[in-house]
């Protein structure tokens, strides 16, 4: 009986920890789910800013760019150079849109949290902040990156891609597998921690 009770108590303990929250949050009830409204609202604002900026900049394209079109083309060239440097000259093309979307969403979210006075908008509970100030957003972005990482490997090498786990020696198999599982964890906590610390410093100042 004690042996059975021990894992049940352990599971209950972890379940209680998963319910711990810092501060108050504003939720919407959609169907049978609770949706974190603060993150959705600010994410939609960031997406609207990106879409409207791109639409306005290229609605009347010129052969010789100027003003907003020039800025958008500069950003696109920067993202292309970033993808080319990291992926390589021959393979970077199809990944520009994915890398650009991730980069721009994170960049605008981070600066929106630092520069925009979200506190002027009053909510019943909690307050608005950068989307990347929420661990759910950073985990989702990290998981998208991991899915893209595996998709690229399987597309390029097929099932032979998994051979990298036993390179240079099969002894490293557990470590190589663990490394791929810890990458999303590292990516999500690094971004979340940086933005949370930044907003706390700004709030104190």
Burial of residue 107 (number of CB atoms within 10 Å: 0-12, 13-18, 19+): middle
- The domain spans of the chain are 25-58, 65-114, 130-204
Number of other CB atoms surrounding residue 58 within 10 Å: 14
Tell me the sheet residues that pair with 30: 33
pLDDT in tens, 136-173: 889 999 999 999 988 988 888 888 878 888 887 888 88
Rounded percentage of the chain residues whose pLDDT exceeds 70: 83
Number of other CB atoms surrounding residue 126 within 10 Å: 15
| CB proximity list for 9: less than 8 A, separation 6 or greater | none
Cα separation of 59 and 64, whole Å?
A: 14
* DSSP H/E element including 134: none
- Please compute the mean of the pLDDT values over residues 69-85 and round it to a whole number: 89
pLDDT at 15 over 70: no
| 10 compared with 117, residue with greater pLDDT | 117
Tell me the sheet residues that pair with 178: none
């Amino acid at each position: 009986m004690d042996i059975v009770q021990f894992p049940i108590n352990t599971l209950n303990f972890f379940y209680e920890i998963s319910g711990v929250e810092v501060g108050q949050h504003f939720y919407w009830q959609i169907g049978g789910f609770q949706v974190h409204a603060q993150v959705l609202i600010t994410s939609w604002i960031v997406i609207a800013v990106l879409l409207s900026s791109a639409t306005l900049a290229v609605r009347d394209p010129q052969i010789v760019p100027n003003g907003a079109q020039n800025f958008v083309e500069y950003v696109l060239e920067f993202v292309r150079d970033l993808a080319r440097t990291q992926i390589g000259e021959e393979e970077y093309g199809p990944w520009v849109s994915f890398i650009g979307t991730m980069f721009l969403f994170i960049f605008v979210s981070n600066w929106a949290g630092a520069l925009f006075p979200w506190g002027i908008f009053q909510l019943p509970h909690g307050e608005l902040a950068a989307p990347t100030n929420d661990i759910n957003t950073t985990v989702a972005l990290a998981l998208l990156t991991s899915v893209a990482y595996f998709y690229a490997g399987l597309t390029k090498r097929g099932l032979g891609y998994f051979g990298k786990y036993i390179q240079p020696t099969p002894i490293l198999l557990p470590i190589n597998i663990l490394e791929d599982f810890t990458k999303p964890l590292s990516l999500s906590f690094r971004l979340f921690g940086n933005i949370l610390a930044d907003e706390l410093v700004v709030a104190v100042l």
